[in-house]
Amino acid sequence: MAAMTQWESFLPPIEQVDYYDEMAETQGESGSSPLEVAIIGGGMTGLALAVGLLKRDVNFTLYERADNFGELGVGIHFTPNAERAMAALDPRVLQSYVDIATHAEGGFLTFVDGFHEGKGADPLTSTEETMFQLHVGDGYKACRRCDFVDQLVKHIPPEKVRYQKWLQSIGAQEGRSILTFRDGSKAQADIVVGCDGIRSKVREAMFGSANSCPKAQYSHQLGFRGLVPMDKALAAVGPSKTSNALGHLGPGGFVLTIPLSGVNAMHVEAFVMDSQPWPEIKSESDTQRYVLPATRDEVVASFKDFGPTVQTYVSLLPEKLDKWAVFDMLDAPAPSFSKARMCLAGDAAHASTPNQGAGAGAGMEDALVLAEVLAAVANLPHLDEGAVIAALGVYSEMRHERCQWLVASSRRVAELFTWKDPQYGHNKDKIRCEIEERSHVLWDYDTDGMVKETIAKFKTELERM
């Protein structure tokens, strides 16, 4: 057997690690490590990473710019690969989702032709032609984002969180990162993880803020979303259409209708492809920059040529609602997810359109890789800057290609959903084949193998030092 390097004896043997079981035995017995991680941003990715680091006894502080954690009360779905990553992070992360999610009848996500349904038909009795169905893992389920965040927060000790900390800049001093916040306060950390969304200040610190720098840009897709009380939906379209998760497809747009039993409502998201630029709004508020006031009449006009079921659903939306711009990083991607002692995760790294239902799930995969490789760093005999930089480089290497594929694939899915490809049109067999292929590239990903490869690459990097 080859002799171990000075580092290797402190890392868990790859073949012996079961990432779905308790891992305390692999992380040492001396309590929390001296490594200090700063998580910037308390969205889903940041919170999931925090829970994963807690499980692995890695020191961290989570900095949130708001005075509390919160997400919009809109629907979220996690695909099978994401659920595996959540379970490996900490079973409580997955359970936080399962406990509040609504299962669609039959477990399918069904896509229908929302355009050619008979004009003037009664949606209570009419039928939209099924184009294809996706059976997602152990069954399609969804919940509200805000409910999932509320569950995750329960697992994080309050003393690990700092609220109203809006990151201003990141500097360096004596081998540590120095965080400066808008309130004038400062903090130090060995590693800074940017989970701070599409306008990431960590990404700006890594790559700059000039027009040529990596950034999220308007994808020329906008969305309207709202909740329709279940009793109104039932009275208007009937039980079969309100007990199933449906995607109503058509030219130029599509509508998702998802039952949410926890709030006794249908979650309705209507997406429109938009050829116009999004107006430049000078505001530090993401809500003011990316969300504009809209009316139900605007949504109705956008889907006036669709079938009666779609028209009925959008007519049930609140009279006043918002339309939000969908931004992604396809056109200006980050060349890497790490630089020096900083790295990016979730939307800060690879903001994606929601069409493949996988953006938040990719953040769960990010969090798992980071939790594992940071635990490996924390378990080393002493904190070494070279090991820190190597670990973050391995994280970027493991995540960058897959996430860039997802961003591009999600754009492509929008083309298929809106019948934009002239070679496909609304040919359901062609659309189904490509959607299934893309879905399985996403769903069948070996998350356990991802973790083992991460640790193996990190060991290799340590051996080179």
Residues designated as active site: 225
| Crossing angle between the packed helical segments 145-153 and 91-98, to the nearest 10 degrees | 140
As a whole number of angstroms, the distance between CA 53 and CA 38 comes to: 11
Three-class secondary structure of residue 444 per DSSP: coil
DSSP class of 213: S
Which secondary structure element, helix H or strand E, spans residue 404, and what is its range?
helix 385-417
CB 61 within 8 A of CB 39: yes
Phi, psi values for residue 230, rounded to 5°: -60, -35
DSSP of 83-143: HHHHHHH-HHHHHHHHTTPEEPGGGEEEEEESSSSPTT--TTT--PPEEEEEE-TT--EEE
As a whole number of angstroms, the distance between CA 39 and CA 45 comes to: 10
CB 363 within 8 A of CB 197: no
Query: How many C-beta atoms lie closer than 10 Å to residue 146's C-beta?
Result: 15
Three-class secondary structure of residue 193 per DSSP: strand
Phi, psi values for residue 184, rounded to 5°: 90, -10
CB 102 within 8 A of CB 142: yes
Q: Rg of the chain over CA atoms, in angstroms?
A: 23
- Determine the distance from the C-alpha atom of residue 304 to the mean position of all C-alpha atoms in its chain, rounded to a whole number: 32
As a whole number of angstroms, the distance between CA 190 and CA 382 comes to: 13
DSSP of 280-294: ----S-HHHHHEEEE
As a whole number of angstroms, the distance between CA 227 and CA 45 comes to: 25
Burial category of 86 from C-beta neighbours within 10 Å (exposed 0-12, middle 13-18, buried 19 and up): buried
